[in-house]
Amino acid sequence: MSKETISIKAEERTESGSAAAGRLRRAGFVPAAINRIGGGTTLLKINQHDFKALLKRHGDEQLLLSLLVGDSEIHALMREIQFHPLTSDPIHVDFGEIDMNAKIHVQVPIRLEGEPEGVKQEGGILQQLLRHIEVECLPADVVEEFTVDVSHLKLGESLFAREIPLDAKYTLVIGKERMAVATVAAPKEETVEEPTDAAAEPEVIAKGKKDDADAAEPADAKKK
């Protein structure tokens, strides 16, 4: 996410369905739809080249932007993009219209910073358990990521969502406070399997079978 103003041109479309979407893609457009604040959905199409360039510059994680549709400017949050499984080209995008004066819920990526004490001094392993955190804020305050310092963590300690130092502009969504963001775990001990005594013992050949055979030999044969 970024605080800079990001704009892209879009055009309204009237046709819907998979056949119409296929024709749009062959013509160089990405089918799109935007859920409006007042209800309902407006179907759009966006130039594929322009949209791919936008994604290359800004990424695709809940991007806040302005859709320029004719003479109108619609503030929107990019909710979801579908990509072609083979070419990775965008094949559909969903937007949600937003009010710039009303708070919204967004998922913000978390980037861990620093080497924990438990890793540096105790040989532990840093594990990131949560990669996004959900907060409430005004659209203009949406940020690209939250950077979290984990250098103070010792072996066996965890950092929870409620411990992330957030500016007053952001409110952690209720129910997420107890989620562990990162932990320093003890390294797993390698276990070496020792060979069993049975595996080391040589094979024992049973005795007595020949004696049994001799015992079963007819008496006449023995007389000879």
Sequence ranges of the domains in the chain: 7-97, 104-185
pLDDT in tens, 192-222: 566 655 555 555 544 444 444 444 444 454 4
pLDDT of residue 69: 96
Separation of alpha carbons 166 and 48, rounded Å: 37
Helix, strand counts (H, E) of the chain: 6, 13
Q: How many whole angstroms separate alpha carbon 134 and alpha carbon 149?
A: 18
The answer to whether 179 touches 161, Cβ cutoff 8 Å, is yes
Q: What pTM does this model have?
A: 0.67
104-185 carries CATH number 2.170.120.20: yes
Looking at 2.40.30.40, 2.120.10.10, 3.20.20.150, 2.40.240.10, the CATH number of the domain 7-97 comes to 2.40.240.10
For 49-85, how does the pLDDT look when each residue is reduced to its tens digit (9 = 90+)? 999 999 998 876 678 899 999 999 999 999 899 999 9
pLDDT score, position 155: 96
